[in-house]
Structure 1
C-alpha cells in the first residue's frame, strides 16, 4: 500500500496510473482525481454577533445625532447649504473626490466580481491597469477627508475630525446592508418554470 497523502486529517490512498506504455514508467501528466488538492470555498459568516450589531447601531445613532443637531442651532444639511462660514470651493472639491472615490470603488468591485466569476487568477488584475487603482482610491479618500476637514473647520473646529470619521464609519456600516436590501429578490420576482 502506498504512503498516501495527508488530506482531511487522515491519509487517502493514492492510485498510480502507469499509462499504456510497455515499460511501466509512470506518466507525470496523468493525475488521479482523488490525489488532487481541492481548495475549500471560504467560510462566509451569515450571522452577526451581538457586539457587531450594537457597534453598527452606535455608529448609525451617532450619525443621526450629527445630522439632526448640526452645530446646535440648525441641522447638518441646512449648514451645508446655507452657512457662510463654510469654504464652498474646497467643500465642492472634497465632495467631488468622495463621488469619484465611490464610483471607482464600485468599478473595482465589479471588476473583482467579474474576475472571481470567470475563474481567472488575481495576478492578472494586480498586473493590469486596474490594480493601480487601489492606491489611487486610498489617495483620493485621504485627500477628500483633508479637504472636507478644511472646509468644515470654521463651524466645528477640532470636532470636525471625529465628525467626519463618524460619518465615514456610518457609511461603511450601512452600505453592506443597503446592498443586501437592493439585491435581494422577493419570491414574486423569481421566474417560475411550470
Structure 2
C-alpha cells in the first residue's frame, strides 16, 4: 500500500495503457477495499493482456467464451457487470483513437491538461465526488464508457494525478497548498 501511495497514486499519468489500467482497477474497486484490488492486480494484468485496450476490446468478439473464463478465474474479482464494463471501456478507448484522440488527451481535457491541487487538511475531508467528477461521468457515459459514475471517476482523477488530494504533511502534497478548485 505504501509503495502504491508513494510511487503511483496521485502522480500525473499520461500513458494511455496505464490510464486504462487505472480506470479498470477503479471500477473493480467500487464497493471493495483498494487493498483487495492491489492484491489482485497481477491477475487482472494477466486476464486483460496487461491492459492493452486494443486486445481487451477484441475480447468482446467472443463475449460468452471470454466471460466464462473470467468468471471462473478465482484470482480476479468476478463481477460480471464490472468485467463487461472493462471490455466496453476498451472499445470506447479504441473509438476515441478512431476519432483522432488519445485516451490521455480525452481524460486530461476535463482538467485542461493541468492537475488540480487541493489543500487537504485531513483525508476524512476528501469528497467521494465533485462537480467535476459528475460532469466527467456524464460525458464519459455519453461517449460509451460504462461503470463510470462520479465516485469511480473521482477516484480515477485522484489516482492518475489529475487531482492532487495528498494530505498536508504528505511529501506529495502541493507546496503551500491552496485550493484551486472548491471541494464540493
Q: Same fold (TM over 0.5)?
A: no
Q: Which TM-score applies when normalising by structure 1?
A: 0.27
Q: Which TM-score applies when normalising by structure 2?
A: 0.28
Which one scores higher on RCO, CA 8 angstroms, separation ≥ 6? 2
